[in-house]
Amino acid sequence: MIEEGDPAPDFTVPVAGGEAYNDVGEFTLSEHVGNGPVVLAFFPAAFTSGCTEELCTFRDSLGAFEAVDASVYGISTDLPFAQNEFIRQEGLTFPLLSDYDHEAIEAYDVVLEGFYDVMSVAERAVFVIDDDGTVAYRWVRDGENPDFEQLVSEVRDAVESAARPS
């Protein structure tokens, strides 16, 4: 299990930018470490009510993250083409990472088995990685969904603590 203070596992996955259904690139975590804190918001599935509420709360708070040079990425096991449509429909202003082969959810130990009794997906979880590539904050859902505004506020505080002074 990945804990605060551990090195953040590196991974490479497709990234959905949201400009078109085929707006797909490649994202490698280690290429983004050192440019300000990185927020990885794992979520089970696009187009579901809890995930939509969570990601829209991050969207609405994005300015506070950008103010400390933090980058926010949602990450799920959805294909990037579906994520692009989700970005478009919800007006999300940050990219989504497609972990369709489960590399990242397994590395971060946030696999939710039996989603709708059918498949394994990402557990709802948030990790903040600092400029040194260390996990500075870890939250994994335990029970029901949290108050997303409170969760995002806690993540913002963790990002501010992880940000290096200019």
Q: Which of 8, 13, 15, 51 is catalytic?
A: 51
* Distance (Å, whole) CA 87 – CA 46: 9
Whether residue 56 lies in the annotated active site: no
Question: Are 135 and 4 spatial neighbours (Cβ–Cβ below 8 Å)?
Answer: yes
- DSSP string over 49-96: HHHHHHHHHHHHTHHHHHTTT-EEEEEESS-HHHHHHHHHHHT--S-E
| Residue 92: how many other CB atoms lie within 10 Å | 22
Catalytic residue annotation: 51
